Amino acid sequence: MSRPVRAALYARVSTSNHGQDVGLQLEELRQVAAQRGWTVAEEFVDAGISGARTQRPALDRMLAAAREGRVDVVAIWKLDRLARSVAHLLEIADSLNAWGVGLVSVRDAHVDTTSPAGRFALQILGAVAELERSLVRERVIAGVRRAQAAGKHCGRPRVELDLRPAVAMLDQGHGLKTIAKALGVSRATLRRRLEEAGAWPKLVAPA
């Protein structure tokens, strides 16, 4: 008789309040494991950790178990519990596939890399997400260009800077680096403002 499939259950919540409960995820994952006849090898829980972090204590332990051949499938509640970016999600899925470990998301229909259809569904999901990101990026760029054409300032707020102390320090022979440090701004910002005001480069009057 073949041995039962060994499952790693992975759950994550970014906060322990606001209605988030890792127990709800684990309960559903255990039910799915029982329905499929899996043996739960270990449960891995990252509580109070953002999904944007690619390195998390429980996630790292789970991947180590998969790499070492201690589990056959990783079950998650939803894909965003595992990764928040498509790139990270596909990186994890590719690693699991290379180690011969499946990935099943119980709340994302058809995402089950233990089957050909499930692997295809994950690839389609990744492609759609990447397309959406590209469209959003294009819309943002177009919006910035329209705003710039209308004479609106885009980007970080302009730093308010009184140039009178800077000009006085220049007259005393201080360099830009020293002046910028004293005023609490970057050297590049100080130089740009001085150039805009016509106070840089400092011209030396003929003797």
Catalytic residues: 14
Element (H, E) at 76: strand 73-76
Angle at CA of residue 161, ends 157 and 163, nearest 5°: 150
**Tokens representing 192?**
């740009």
Question: How far is the CA of 45 from the CAs of 33, 37, 68, 69, 84, in angstroms?
Answer: 16, 22, 19, 19, 16
Best CA proximity match to 38, nearest among 62, 74, 79, 77: 74
Amino acid at position 179, single letter: I
Question: How far is the CA of 106 from the CAs of 5, 118, 158, in angstroms?
Answer: 16, 12, 48
Amino acid at position 13, single letter: V
Query: How far is residue 165's CA from residue 178's CA, in Å, rounded to a whole number?
Result: 12
